[in-house]
Amino acid sequence: MTIKQSRPPFDASTIPGGLCPIATHLTTMLPGDWRAERPIVDRDSCVKCATCWMYCPVQCITEHAAWFEADLRVCKGCGICATECPHRAIVMLEETK
């Protein structure tokens, strides 16, 4: 996935290396790249109450026709949604690869 910066990156070439930790280019890594567990929504149990949507700290819950689920590129696997879901519709599954 490519990300566009809203302003052109600042040219840091005049600043000596090793002076001060700064970064001028966006990393393309997303929280999903280091997730250890993924939330799986049971579509039959989900009632679209949006509790998970409210609690998700990275705001990655997306709405679908009859259920809500996480955008797995962004989901960091914290499991807050699974704990908060009043219908126990979310289970956390270990990432295997």
Partner 1 sequence: MITAKTIVCDGNEAAAWGAVLSRPDMVAVYPITPQSSLAEYLSQFIADGILDAELLDVEGEHSVLSVLHGAALAGARTYTATCGQGLAFMFEPYFRTPPLRLPIVTSLVTRDGITPQCVWGGQQDAMTVKDVGWVHMYCETVQEVLDTLIMAYRIAEHRQVMLPVNVNHDGNYLSYGVCRMELPGQAEVDAFLGPKDINWHVALDPDRPMAVDPLTGGAGGPGPALFVSYRKGLCDGMQHALRVIEEVHDEWALRFGRRWAPLVEEYKLDDADFAIVTIGSMTGAAKDAVDQARARGERVGLIKVKTFRPFPIEAMVRAVSKVEALGVVDRAVSFGWNSGPLHQEVLGALYYGRRPIPAISFIGGLAGADLTVGHFRRVIEQTAAARWTGPGQAPIWLNEND
Q: Is residue 30 a contact point for ligand SF4 (CB under 6 A)? A: no
Look at residue 85 and give the partner it binds from partner 1, ligand SF4, none, a contact being a CB closer than 5 to 8 Å depending on partner kind: ligand SF4
Phi, psi of 91 (to 5 degrees): -120, 150
> H or E element: which one contains 61?
strand 61-63
Query: Is 25 in contact with 49 (CB distance < 8 Å)?
Result: no
Q: Is residue 28 a contact point for partner 1 (CB under 8 A)? A: no
Q: Closest approach of Cβ 96 to ligand SF4, in Å?
A: 17
Q: Is residue 70 a contact point for ligand SF4 (CB under 6 A)? A: yes
Q: Is residue 40 a contact point for ligand SF4 (CB under 6 A)? A: no
Query: Is 74 in contact with 35 (CB distance < 8 Å)?
Result: no
